[in-house]
Amino acid sequence: MLQSLLAAAPVTVVETREDPAELFLFPEEAEVVARAVDKRRSEFATVRQCARTALAGLGVPAGPILPGPKGAPRWPEGIVGSMTHCAGYRAAVVARASAVASVGIDAEPAAPLGDADVLRLVSDETERAALADLGSRHPHVPWDRLLFSAKEAVYKTWFPLTGRWLGFEEARVDLAPDGTFTAALLVPGPTVAGRELTGFRGDWLIRDGIAVTAIVLPLTPAPPGT
């Protein structure tokens, strides 16, 4: 899924729909999930296997990929990346920091959120009005779930650039039926390659019961309006 979605991007993608029979973790990683249930350990190990395979494609030797203080993965020097997992899907995307400033990916079941309270938590009135319009024109797409996923991808792209939390209400996402989305930052953004970042552009795809969203931020952002 992400492989086809990001085929033109300067990134390496590894994804899988199942956990391997033999799970491997470095001792430092195993300690992180020592008290976790089997499902959590499997997700944790498989997504790191995806990441190590992707890193090997860039010539980076295998090593532990540990969560930082806020949970974001700590990548080897000179590497940016993102990982995601949901029921039936795990994926990792990595790139050289010399080509890509940041990456954010997310995967979710391709089903409606099914909870109005959650939708109100992650969206504002403008976004909910847009979802209603999209739903009337394309009723078979779980737009609320895509919005949630896109905001997760936005946060995963934002955090490595800033080291700061970004609330759901601090970015406004505009989903398009053509498989793209934009996210306007409602708070001051970081400076990337000498330019203040005001938002992100991403892509989405639904296939085989899974919805994925992805943002690849080039090291040199495109000028506004391009």
- Domains, the chain, with CATH or none: 2-105 (3.90.470.20), 107-218 (3.90.470)
Per-residue pLDDT of the chain (226 residues), as tens digits, is: 999 999 999 999 999 999 998 889 999 999 999 999 999 999 999 999 999 999 999 999 999 999 997 889 999 999 999 999 999 999 999 999 999 999 999 999 999 998 899 999 999 999 999 999 999 999 999 999 999 999 999 999 999 999 999 999 999 999 999 999 999 999 999 999 899 999 999 999 999 999 999 999 998 755 544 4
pLDDT of residue 102: 98
How many residues are listed for the chain in this entry?
226
Q: Residue for token digits 């109005």? A: 116
Q: Choose among 77, 16, 88, 99: nearest CA to 51.
A: 16
Tokens representing 142? 């779980």
Residues 128, 145 contacting (CB under 8 angstroms): no
Q: Residue for token digits 């029921």? A: 87
Question: What letters, b where the CB count within 10 A reaches 16 and e where it falls short, cover 92-104?
Answer: bbbbbbeebbbbb
Residues 159, 171 contacting (CB under 8 angstroms): no
CA distances to 131, 134, 141, 158 from 137, rounded to whole Å, are 10, 5, 10, 31
Residue 192 makes CB contacts below 8 A (sequence gap 6+) with: 101, 161, 217, 219, 221
Q: Choose among 115, 179, 104: nearest CA to 141.
A: 179
pLDDT of residue 219: 87
